[in-house]
Amino acid sequence: MSVDAPTRYEIVVRGELGESFSSTFEEVSLEHRNGTTLVTVDVIDQAQLHGIINRLRDYSLTIESVTHVAQGESQPERGRDTE
């Protein structure tokens, strides 16, 4: 039985989410960027991705973008605010 590798998505939401918020989403990492929060998540299928998006909606958060991060794609340096 073959199990596909997780697929990474980056979801940008308006506002800076607190660290207590990440405990609600154990499978995500949060990074603040100029008044928004980058939510990075590895999902095993579309159902899991939609579940996370639905939870963000349930918190009345504005989703600005959802981006698929291709395998092997170079990532911008983390931990620095962009201007």
Which tens digits make up the pLDDT trace of 27-45? Answer: 788 899 999 999 999 999 9
Q: pTM for the complete prediction? A: 0.76
Burial class (CB in 10 A: 0-12, 13-18, 19+), 77: exposed
- Please report the pLDDT score of residue 26 as a whole number: 72
Helices marked H in the chain = 19-22, 46-58
What is the C-alpha to C-alpha distance for residues 9 and 5, in angstroms, rounded to an integer? 13
Q: Which residues contact 50 (CB under 8 A, 6 or more apart)?
A: none
Cβ neighbour number for residue 15 with a 10 Å cutoff: 11
